[in-house]
Amino acid sequence: MLIDVIVDMCGLYFFICFFLIVTAPPKTSTLPHPAALPIVHQNWKQAIVDAPETGTVFLNKFHSPALRALRTERTSRLEANAADNIMPEFGDAQALYFGGDMEAAIPLSGQVAGRIESIKPVADILHETRDEFFRILESLQRQYL
Dihedrals φ, ψ of 58, to 5°? -105, 115
Interatomic CA distance for residues 70 and 59, integer angstroms: 10
Tens-digit pLDDT profile for residues 63-92:
899 999 999 999 999 998 878 899 999 999
Q: How confident is the model at residue 57 (pLDDT cuts 50, 70, 90)?
A: very high
Interatomic CA distance for residues 62 and 52, integer angstroms: 26
pLDDT of residue 11: 54
| Helix axes 122-144 and 2-23, enclosed angle (nearest 10) | 120
